[in-house]
Structure 1
Amino acid sequence: MQAADNTAFADEVRLSFVASLYQQRGTLFAGMVAHVVTTMAVYLRIDDPFYLYAGLALFVVWLGRNLDMIAFDRLPKADFKLADTLRWEKRYVIGSFVTCSILGTICGHALVVAQDPFAELVTVSVTLASMISVVGRNFGSKLNVDMIILAACMPIMIGLSFAADPFMILMALLMLPLFLTTRSMANGVREFLFSAVTAERKASEIAERFDTALNNMSHGLFMLDGDGRIEVANRKARDFFNIDADIDLSGRVLKAALRLGTRNGVIARENFHQINEHLDNLISGREDRSLVRLDKNTWLEFSARHRGEKGVVLIFEDVSARIQSEKRILHMARFDNLTELPNRSWFKDIAAAKMAKAEPGQKLALAVLDIDDFKHVNDTMGHLSGDKLLSAIANRLRSLSRQKFVISRFGGDEFVLLMPDVEDVAELTRTMDHVIDTLRGTYMIDGHKLFISLSGGVAMAPVEGAQVEELHIQADLALYEAKRRDKNRWTLFEESMDLQYSERQRMKLDLREAIRTGAMELCYQPMFSPDGARIAGAEALSRWTHPELGPISPAVYIPLAEEMGIIGDLTRCVIDKAAQECASWPGELFVSVNLSAFDLADRAIISVVADALDRSGLAPERLQLEITESGLMNDLETARVILTELRAMGMSIAIDDFGTGYSSLSYLDMLPLNKVKIDRSFVRNLCADARKLKLLRGVVHLARELGLDIVVEGVETEAQLRLIRENECADLIQGFIFGSPIPGSAFGELATKLTKQDLIASAETSRLSRTLNSV
């Protein structure tokens, strides 16, 4: 027997061959009857009791073998191991060997002992006839074949040889090829059957694997023949179309499976014909791949593999999740995730499509809306509340979209509206007023009522030649103008705005260059003692003279510097120049420099001041730093730490414009201050309003109780100065009564002159005092 590639499989086949030996007991019974009848006939013919005993022995052996076969039938073959198979094979071989040995013996006895022609003919004939079972029944065991041939043939050949007849000896020799041929045929049958069983087993395994793979693949499959009829439909295909396993699809057209899917609710009826058309295109070869929609939420992707005239294989998979993911990705790419409004990119695509469909002569308008003071909402209520406000405004905008607006959120609190068909300015005005009125109002956010107003800028142009980007720039310029005009309004773009914007941008560039090159100039407003006899110092004020536009007001360029984020550079420039010039002033005159809110939020200002003092050699006591209440609003704790370090370095700290903020009094206690500069609003109408004087005296008294010096700003008349002196409300006076801001060189000359006069007056006073003392 050939060795099998798989040992377990070889053992299984061997067991099946051994089991075949124990089957077909009818032939075994027929053989026993023929053998017994033959021995009895020979016994009756020649009256030799040997044949009587031989027949009885054959019957007994048959009976034993029959009982052994019954015992084999009762055994559980599934539990058999190779040793069990070999043991039962040997038991069968013993039985057949004994039977054949008896048959061979009676042949040899007839040829050698009885020498009766009838006995010789009958016994040899029956024995040779029994050899047929070697090929037909006993081929299952090679050992069995060998034992049967050996047991049956050897006695016959020996008997023929003992006859001493050359012809009989020749017959004995001629029987050898017969016996060998019989053995070869039996072994050939066994080997052939083993190969057949092996091939069948492999084919079965391949078929099983194919069936397993086919029915466990993640894709559905329909295999169609050349006529478009189903040959194979795997389990996935049946399950997907909800087709019962007992329904035979073989030989049916594919449309029948689709009808079953429609009947089972898998396919929407309105999609049936379209699906069938897609599949016809695949089967006919017009398409290789097709995306098929079964219902609202289910998509299948079919692909076709053609087999020539043999048909086509359709493979499909459920791509619903992929389609939904692609839709979500596309939605994320097109829409703002907070407000669900179209984002900037998708808005431009929609606008381009609208503009492409516009009729000749049609006008469109683009509006940019911005929430007034939205930063205050984020700062006071948090960004989460700010997001909720944006969503609420977006919801109101969506209610306006029914009027054929295209709305979008470009980011932050900026919303953009496209009105693709606007007849004239009057219609635009009505529309924008309605939009602003709709969005303006009270919003409930996290239990808080917020009154929200918006500012807007609008650009209108004919559709022909219009560019969304250009319209957006123009609307932004109009929005800036609306905010400049105190917000809560909308403004239509005008060409002059573009000119103003260009000039503003140019001014920004020139301002940056002026600060970088140190072209900024300083003026100084003196601070005098209340009697005007002594100058104590001056406040440094930056000035910018544009090479083409002339002098630019600080009210213009300082907000520009803050907007550009270079206010810190301006402060550094002012401190450097003020420290350098103050170092050349006579006596102990000090210079006062203003710090911005930006400076008080960054510890870098400490290094800026220290470096300026090192470069100029100015004593820290001669540098005074002024702060305003607005500069303290953003981060009071950081400002307090920075000012504490600056004061520890020896500088004086003054709070400017005192009294104009709601929290002035708290700052007096929280900050490391040396001076209070009382705002000019306390001095205005001081002579006409007695309450102003009382208020001024109260503030001065409070400051002095805290050990702070008093500087009164904005003193312009002799009457104001007289009241301040009479009520002792100031340590220093800063105002036009004593002088307006003057250039650094002029202030230096003034300071030197006044210092000399002060020294002469002091010397004269000293001389007069000594004269009086001598008298």
Structure 2
Amino acid sequence: MNIRTPASKALPKELPALAVLGLSDSGDGDWGRLRGLQYSTLWRTAFTRITTQATAALAVSLLLLGRVHPAAIASWLLLLALTHCHGYRIDRSLADTDRRQVTRDEVKAQMLGSIGNSLAWALPLCGLALFVDSQTQVKVWTVLAMLMAASVILIPAVPMNTLVFSGIVGGAAVAAFVVRASYDMAAIAILFMGIILLGAIEGARRYLAAKIAEAGMAEKDEVVSLLLREFEEGQADWLWQIDTGRRVRSVSPRFAYALDRDAAGAEGMPLIQLISGPAWETGQFPPSLHELAERLKRREPFSNLLVRAMIDGQSRWWELSGTPRINENGVFEGFRGVGSDVTEARENSDKIAWLARYDTLTGLPNRMMLTETMAGALDYADKWRTRCAFLMIDLDRFKAVNDTLGHHVGDQLLARVSERLKEQMSENELCGRLGGDEFAIVVRDATDAKQIDQVARRVIDRLSQPYEIDHHTLFIGASIGSAMGPRDGSSVETLMRNADLALYRSKDTGGNAHCTYEPALHAHAEERRKLEFALRRAMDRKEFHVVYQPVVDAISEAVLSFEALLRWDNAELGAVSPAKFVPLAEDTRLIVPIGEWVLREACREAMNWPPHVRVAVNVSGEQLLDSNFAASVVGALSGSGLPAHRLEIEVTESIFLRDASQARAALEQIMSLGCAVALDDFGTGYSSLGYLRKLRFSTIKVDRSFVQGAATGNAESLAIIRAVVAMADSLGMSTTAEGAETEKQVQVIRKLGCRKIQGYFFGRPMSPNDAQGLFRNQALPARQSVA
């Protein structure tokens, strides 16, 4: 029958005396496995025990020789040899019980062999020694007592053998001493037997406790090895180990793979040499390798240390953790740790860091990096009492390129602009992209104020040169506003805001210019903010009203139409000029709802005029490009009942620069309704004959600047008006001259052939009631209207 429990069960923690002797399996634990560890030790000490007993047998034989018949001694020695041969065979069969289960039959056989050997040793005291004197008997006892003590030492794992041997041999000695009436020696023998018994049990406990601890350590090592193998097989990490000379040892397959070497080739090589590449020869190690070498030199533990490694000519990033190895004697034996290749994660991290500070389209620093650089420049200027500057750049006419040629060309243009900007930068300057078509320059040291203007002029000149993109020759410009720190602002936000204000001023002057910040610009911006706030509430407060300026026939001076003009009267600001609030309304797209309201009011008022009188309404580019524009026109006409042919929509040439195709489509929709379309301010913008050919305008309006120039005899103005009139006549269009304020101007306009005239000479913008009053008379007296 098997006496072992399952191998998975832990070894016992408690070691009671009976359990140690093998008389019971007390408590929890795998006693079967412990019995195997006990009996496997018998084979390892068999030769020593036989040698010891042979020496003791020789000593006893010499003591008995001459006192006992030699034949008896020889017979005893033969019997002793036979018991040893039998015990040797049993011990050898138990040699592998530390790896298998020991059976009860094996335990029984071993015990019987031990009893036989003990009885053989009892004969010199119980039998042969009876024929000798007391002194010789004591000497024989002394030899056997030494043999009993040796048994405690030689077979500590199996105390039952010592107990059996001591009990039988000691009992024989006590009996022999009692027979000879040597009661004192009998008592000594009994006491010695007790000591042997206690010593055997305590020695067995210590031996077995050591074996249990040793087995526990072996199990832990096995578990750790298993876990480490699973770790290396299931993870991308690897284990590494170096000795006191910092040479790699026990190279695992995964670590060898990371080194791009075979394990045997890497074994014994210095770790730093394996991962430093050519730097091993030159000594020019990266800082991370220096740090690793220092940690190893100082025998300091480290965790997640990022190291740049050169493996097979390729740069890699490793993350290493290591702990010094100290043996049980406190001696340093090297390092052991874990490592992983984090190259991909590092590259992704670098890419993310780059994306956080650089613009993906142009490769220039983005707003975040510009802000950080500006903050550093301000700190430096404050510390050393110097100056720095921030230049904000906006591209002129870029939106027209983007709208007409598409975003693909626009993106290429921005990339070219960034290249030209970088060409103009010195070590003292950093350029970047804020977003859209806005760029910026940080000047770290701007002690020389003239340098700011020089940088700005250089950038404007370079960016204004033509660009060749996708077979298109493009011309743009640049407007720049600058602010100097800490004079114009002690914080990045303030400095950027003030540079932006200066940029607005630069664009207001017509662009392609550089303006510096002045405190008055802040007041202007505050005024603009208040104006915008008031403008947003003007519709709800009904602060808008429409006035009408007459357009008369150049010959008969009869009123042909009125131009509807928007006016704004605010309780706090008073009468606000259209030149101020109309551009603001366009920037904020408030012009769309305001324009729709003007359109409805004009159509409603036109119903009070004679059927032949038209009303002209100015339409902003924001309105025209709005998807609901045509619907708003239809709504105004149907709501008022005004016939479509009495409504004239006035547009400027600038709308064709934003989105010519959409503008043309919107105007064609209006014309299909029956409305007329007039081209306002012709000749002052980017005049093109192309859209005159494609769109049939009802009227071309000549700007007041040409009218005033013609009245003074300016040859260019005269030539332009003649050309416009001739072109309009040939295309079947009418012409209206704007800004006629004097009789001389009216006469010149008539001579040049313009069909209609608009200006203060025939009437200022007037209220709806005054406009209706004009039709009470057949003609409009000039002098009376001026008055």
TM-score normalised by the chain length of structure 1: 0.61
1:655-699 CA distance string (max 9 Å, x none): 444566776655455335445545556755379678678646634
Write the distance in 1 (CA, Å) between the matches of 2:461 and 2:683. Answer: 37
Are 1:298 and 2:329 an aligned pair?
A: no
Deviates further, 444-453 or 403-412 = 444-453
What is the RMSD computed on CA atoms of the aligned residues? 4.8
Q: CA deviation at 1:471?
A: 0.2
Residue 523 of structure 2: aligned partner = 499
Does the Cα contact within 8 Å between 2:378 and 2:486 map onto a contact in 1? Answer: no
Does the Cα contact within 8 Å between 1:715 and 1:733 map onto a contact in 2? Answer: yes
Q: CA deviation at 1:737?
A: 3.5
Write the distance in 1 (CA, Å) between the matches of 2:418 and 2:275. Answer: 44
Residue 523 of structure 1: aligned partner = 547
Match of 1:335 among 341, 350, 358: 358
- SS of the aligned residue for 2:561 comes to strand
Report the residue type matching 2:396 in the other structure. Answer: D
Q: CA deviation at 1:555?
A: 2.7
Are 1:702 and 2:730 an aligned pair?
A: yes
The total of aligned residue pairs comes to 566
Q: CA deviation at 1:230?
A: 7.1
Write the distance in 1 (CA, Å) between the matches of 2:748 and 2:277. Answer: 103
Write the distance in 1 (CA, Å) between the matches of 2:364 and 2:758. Answer: 56
Does the Cα contact within 8 Å between 1:711 and 1:734 map onto a contact in 2? Answer: yes
Are 1:611 and 2:629 an aligned pair?
A: no
- SS of the aligned residue for 1:517 comes to coil
Are 1:460 and 2:484 an aligned pair?
A: yes
Report the residue type matching 2:253 in the other structure. Answer: R
Report the residue type matching 1:371 in the other structure. Answer: L
Q: How is 1:509-548 mapped onto 2 (pairs within 5 angstroms)?
A: 509-532=533-556, 534-548=558-572
Q: CA deviation at 1:366?
A: 1.4
Are 1:583 and 2:607 an aligned pair?
A: yes
Does the Cα contact within 8 Å between 1:568 and 1:599 map onto a contact in 2? Answer: yes
Are 1:278 and 2:295 an aligned pair?
A: yes
- SS of the aligned residue for 1:609 comes to helix
- SS of the aligned residue for 1:750 comes to helix
Are 1:470 and 2:491 an aligned pair?
A: no
Report the residue type matching 2:291 in the other structure. Answer: Q
Q: How is 1:50-89 mapped onto 2 (pairs within 5 angstroms)?
A: none
Does the Cα contact within 8 Å between 1:586 and 1:752 map onto a contact in 2? Answer: no
Write the distance in 2 (CA, Å) between the matches of 1:595 and 1:366. Answer: 38
Distance 1:308 1:435, change over 3 A: same
Does the Cα contact within 8 Å between 2:391 and 2:441 map onto a contact in 1? Answer: yes
Residue 342 of structure 2: aligned partner = 319
Q: How is 1:240-259 mapped onto 2 (pairs within 5 angstroms)?
A: 240-241=258-259, 244-246=262-264, 249=267, 256-259=270-273
Q: CA deviation at 1:340?
A: 2.4
Q: How is 1:184-199 mapped onto 2 (pairs within 5 angstroms)?
A: none
Report the residue type matching 1:290 in the other structure. Answer: L
- SS of the aligned residue for 1:469 comes to helix
Report the residue type matching 1:607 in the other structure. Answer: A
Does the Cα contact within 8 Å between 1:579 and 1:618 map onto a contact in 2? Answer: yes
Does the Cα contact within 8 Å between 1:299 and 1:319 map onto a contact in 2? Answer: yes
Does the Cα contact within 8 Å between 2:557 and 2:780 map onto a contact in 1? Answer: no
- SS of the aligned residue for 2:654 comes to helix
Residue 149 of structure 1: aligned partner = none
Deviates further, 569-578 or 371-380 = 371-380
Q: Which consecutive residues of structure 2, in runs of 5 or more, have no partner in the other structure?
A: 7-85, 94-218, 782-787
Distance 1:476 1:625, change over 3 A: same
Q: CA deviation at 1:459?
A: 0.9
Does the Cα contact within 8 Å between 2:388 and 2:485 map onto a contact in 1? Answer: yes
Write the distance in 2 (CA, Å) between the matches of 1:435 and 1:654. Answer: 40
Distance 1:567 1:716, change over 3 A: same
Write the distance in 2 (CA, Å) between the matches of 1:328 and 1:321. Answer: 10
Report the residue type matching 1:293 in the other structure. Answer: R
- SS of the aligned residue for 1:297 comes to strand
Percent identical across equivalent pairs?
31
Q: Which consecutive residues of structure 1, in runs of 5 or more, have no partner in the other structure?
A: 6-128, 137-201, 758-775
Residue 178 of structure 2: aligned partner = none
Distance 1:703 1:733, change over 3 A: farther
Distance 1:447 1:304, change over 3 A: same
Report the residue type matching 1:294 in the other structure. Answer: A
Are 1:481 and 2:527 an aligned pair?
A: no
Match of 1:425 among 449, 452, 455: 449
Distance 1:298 1:648, change over 3 A: closer
- SS of the aligned residue for 1:512 comes to helix
1:202-256 CA distance string (max 9 Å, x none): 99x999978975775632213579999977431222343466544695xx7xx84
Residue 236 of structure 1: aligned partner = 254
Does the Cα contact within 8 Å between 1:364 and 1:463 map onto a contact in 2? Answer: no
Match of 1:410 among 434, 456, 466: 434
Write the distance in 2 (CA, Å) between the matches of 1:464 and 1:609. Answer: 49
Does the Cα contact within 8 Å between 2:762 and 2:780 map onto a contact in 1? Answer: no
TM-score normalised by the chain length of structure 2: 0.60
Does the Cα contact within 8 Å between 1:521 and 1:544 map onto a contact in 2? Answer: yes
Are 1:362 and 2:362 an aligned pair?
A: no
1:628-674 CA distance string (max 9 Å, x none): 33334444444444344434444344444456677665545533544
Residue 574 of structure 1: aligned partner = 598
Write the distance in 2 (CA, Å) between the matches of 1:606 and 1:242. Answer: 72
Does the Cα contact within 8 Å between 1:640 and 1:672 map onto a contact in 2? Answer: no
- SS of the aligned residue for 2:525 comes to helix
Deviates further, 745-754 or 568-577 = 745-754
Q: CA deviation at 1:587?
A: 5.4
Write the distance in 2 (CA, Å) between the matches of 1:665 and 1:432. Answer: 36
Q: CA deviation at 1:335?
A: 1.3
1:342-391 CA distance string (max 9 Å, x none): 21112222333343344242222211123332334434555444434433
Distance 1:648 1:384, change over 3 A: closer
Q: CA deviation at 1:257?
A: 4.1
Residue 54 of structure 2: aligned partner = none
Report the residue type matching 1:299 in the other structure. Answer: W
